[in-house]
């Protein structure tokens, strides 16, 4: 057996174990999915394509003062401009952790984060640079949680590690622009409240993420406030049509076949 085949089998077993460890966001088709994200030039070409398209769209969406990437927030012409990006599989790749660190827990993700240099998603640093040069601020809304750690007096050490991760892929940012679950009482895993928080002060012209929940509210099988009903495959499919004009036009979704809220809806 070749070393390559051996490594595929080992990686497959490891990712299968990861699958069992994720209750809500379990891996589906873990072997090929993780290997594709880890090794396929096709994957990197897709992410480059997405960020290149978004870069070309910047001047148009900046100039259109009636435009908001948040459907409820048109009429924000007087506000400064912003884009909102998710972090994992949007700004940085977690595939190496998916392949090696098992089972997945947020604590293990934190420990991985502080002990490994973050791997960029191709195209993101160039996009954020272009946006900032045109006066557009960047906010990072992640479902990494604020959690107390034994022996650490910081109430949210994950915020610093996330800022450091983002820096490692070539983007400087700070705590005012990185928004984790639990930083405020109403900031739960439903990202809607954090998008709305940014929209209070900014005209949000673009959203970026690898999960439907980075764009569409109430897309989880386990709803979080203000959502009350579990999402289904059918409800998510309806949102595809309802927001037809946003996909690829202010909404830019990155591929993630490894995990996500899509895996738990029925
Ligand atoms: Mg993500």
Condensed to tens digits (0 to 9), the pLDDT of residues 37-92 reads 999 999 999 999 999 999 999 999 999 999 999 998 888 899 999 999 999 999 99
How much is the average pLDDT of 197-211?
98
Quote the CA–CA distance of 71 and 143 in Å, as a whole number. 22
C-alpha 122 – ligand 1 centre gap (Å): 15
Whether the predicted pLDDT of 5 surpasses 70:
no
Condensed to tens digits (0 to 9), the pLDDT of residues 109-165 reads 999 999 999 999 999 999 999 999 999 999 999 999 999 998 899 999 999 999 999
Cβ pair 212, 262 in contact under 8 A:
yes
Whether the predicted pLDDT of 3 surpasses 90:
no
Cβ pair 84, 206 in contact under 8 A:
yes
C-alpha 1 – ligand 1 centre gap (Å): 35
C-alpha 262 – ligand 1 centre gap (Å): 12
**Structure-block tokens of residue 99:** 């392949």
Spatial neighbors of 202 by CB under 8 A, at least 6 apart, are 76, 79, 80, 81, 82, 137, 139
| The pLDDT of residue 75 | 82
DSSP string, 148-174: --TT---S-HHHHHHHHHHHHTT----
C-alpha 86 – ligand 1 centre gap (Å): 5
Number of domains in the chain: 1
C-alpha 259 – ligand 1 centre gap (Å): 9
Condensed to tens digits (0 to 9), the pLDDT of residues 215-255 reads 999 999 999 999 999 999 999 999 999 999 999 999 999 99
How much is the average pLDDT of 251-263?
95
C-alpha 181 – ligand 1 centre gap (Å): 13
3-class DSSP state of 136 = strand
Whether the predicted pLDDT of 29 surpasses 60:
no
Helix residue ranges, H only, the chain: 3-21, 30-39, 41-63, 95-100, 106-115, 124-133, 157-168, 192-201, 233-242
Question: By residue range, what is the domain housing residue 120?
Answer: 3-264
37: domain CATH number is 3.40.50.1000
Whether the predicted pLDDT of 10 surpasses 80:
no
C-alpha 109 – ligand 1 centre gap (Å): 13
Quote the CA–CA distance of 24 and 142 in Å, as a whole number. 16
């Amino acid at each position: 057996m070749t070393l390559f085949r051996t490594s595929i089998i080992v990686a497959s077993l490891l990712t299968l174990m990861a699958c069992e460890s994720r209750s809500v966001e379990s891996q589906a088709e873990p072997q090929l999915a993780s290997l594709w994200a880890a090794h396929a030039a096709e994957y990197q070409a897709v992410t480059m394509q997405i960020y290149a398209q978004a870069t070309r769209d910047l001047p148009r969406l900046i100039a259109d003062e009636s435009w908001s990437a948040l459907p409820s927030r048109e009429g924000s012409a007087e506000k400064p401009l912003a884009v909102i990006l998710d972090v994992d599989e949007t700004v940085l790749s977690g595939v190496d952790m998916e392949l090696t660190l098992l089972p997945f827990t947020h604590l293990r993700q934190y420990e991985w984060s502080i002990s490994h240099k973050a791997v960029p998603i191709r195209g993101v640093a160039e996009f954020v640079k272009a946006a900032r040069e045109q006066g557009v601020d960047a906010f990072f809304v992640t479902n990494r949680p604020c959690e107390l750690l034994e022996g650490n007096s910081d109430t949210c050490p994950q915020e610093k590690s996330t800022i450091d991760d983002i820096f490692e892929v070539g983007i400087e940012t700070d705590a005012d622009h990185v928004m984790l679950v639990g930083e405020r009482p109403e900031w739960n895993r439903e990202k809607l409240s954090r998008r709305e928080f940014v929209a209070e002060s900014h005209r949000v012209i673009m959203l970026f993420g690898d999960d439907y929940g980075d764009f569409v509210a109430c897309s989880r099988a386990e709803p979080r406030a203000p959502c009350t009903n579990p999402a289904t495959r059918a409800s998510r499919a309806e949102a595809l049509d309802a927001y037809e004009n946003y996909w690829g036009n202010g909404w830019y979704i990155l591929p993630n076949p490894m995990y996500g809220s899509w895996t738990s809806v029925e």
